[in-house]
């Protein structure tokens, strides 16, 4: 059985399209015996990226020994990365905010995208990801239609797929729930189509 790490980025909860679809996927996976580990970004306290933590990062990047406070801060981030690394499947449910992602999700990404933990640097080949063997499903809710010419404004799916690939998670399935602001019938049809897509994914896992 696989371990599933679910990151919930919407504050709307019961009204959220991305959470509604994610719950269908998670329920299907749980019914198959997969373990679900949930991180609600609006409930979990995330450390600020300042002070000892910032200095710890620079100490690591420059191969210096961190101070005890810096090491403690870095250990906290390392634990967050290990939580991600331990999963065989990452599920991220997020709305689109201003063509991109909520700041809470960006905060988490900034914390787990760290040298020596989730990515490495080689003078010859450049950056390379350190998280291997993990697949990702992004469940993306948006108020509009971001196909055709409007695709250039979609910095939601593109950004998350890029940053995950940077860390080594290159197997990324995007499930989009479009036109949520086009009326209840359109919204419901989009949610139902996304639910069918995630159920197919769960059946094949």
Structural domain boundaries of the chain?
3-204
Q: Which token pair is 158? A: 């593109």
Q: What is the pTM of this model?
A: 0.95
DSSP 67-111: PHHHHHHHHHHHHHHHHHHT-SEEEEEEE-BTTB--HHHHHHHHH
Give, to the nearest 10 degrees, the angle between helix 68-85 and helix 103-112.
110
Task: Find tokens 């390379």 and name the residue.
Answer: 128
* Among 20, 41, 157, 165, residue whose Cα is nearest residue 100: 157
Q: pLDDT tens digits, residue range 152-198?
A: 999 999 999 999 999 999 999 999 999 999 999 999 999 999 999 99
Sequence-ordered strand ranges (E) for the chain: 3-8, 35-40, 89-95, 119-122, 126-129, 135-141, 171-177
The 10 Å CB-count burial string (b at 16+, else e) for 104-131 is bbbebbebbbbeebbbeeeeeeeeebeb
- pLDDT higher than threshold 90 for residue 49: no
Q: Is 194 left (phi over 0), alpha (psi -120 to 50) or beta?
A: alpha
What fold does the segment set 3-204 form as a domain? Rossmann fold (3.40.50)
Between 71 and 185, the more confident residue is 185
Question: Residue 197 and residue 172: Cα distance in Å, rounded?
Answer: 14
Question: Residue 62 and residue 200: Cα distance in Å, rounded?
Answer: 46
Task: Find tokens 């939580």 and name the residue.
Answer: 83
Q: pLDDT tens digits, residue range 110-142?
A: 999 999 999 999 999 899 999 999 999 999 999
pLDDT for res 65: 85
């Amino acid at each position: 059985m696989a371990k599933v790490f679910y990151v919930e980025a919407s504050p709307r909860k019961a009204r959220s399209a991305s959470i509604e679809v994610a719950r269908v996927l998670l329920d299907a996976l749980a019914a198959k015996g997969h373990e679900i580990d949930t991180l609600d970004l609006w409930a979990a306290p995330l450390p600020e990226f300042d002070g000892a933590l910032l200095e710890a990062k620079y100490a690591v990047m420059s191969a210096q020994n961190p101070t005890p406070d810096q090491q403690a801060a870095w250990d906290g981030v390392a634990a967050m990365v290990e939580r991600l690394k331990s999963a065989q499947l990452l599920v991220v449910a997020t709305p689109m905010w201003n063509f991109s992602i909520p700041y809470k999700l960006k905060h988490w990404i900034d914390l787990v995208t760290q040298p020596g933990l989730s990515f490495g640097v080689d003078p010859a080949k450049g950056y390379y990801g350190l998280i291997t063997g993990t697949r990702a499903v992004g469940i993306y809710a948006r108020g509009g239609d971001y196909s055709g010419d409007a695709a250039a404004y979609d910095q939601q799916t593109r950004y998350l797929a890029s940053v995950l690939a940077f860390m080594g998670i290159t197997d990324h399935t995007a499930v989009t729930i479009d036109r949520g602001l086009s009326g209840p019938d359109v919204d419901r049809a989009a949610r139902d189509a996304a639910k069918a897509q995630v159920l197919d994914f769960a059946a094949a896992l």
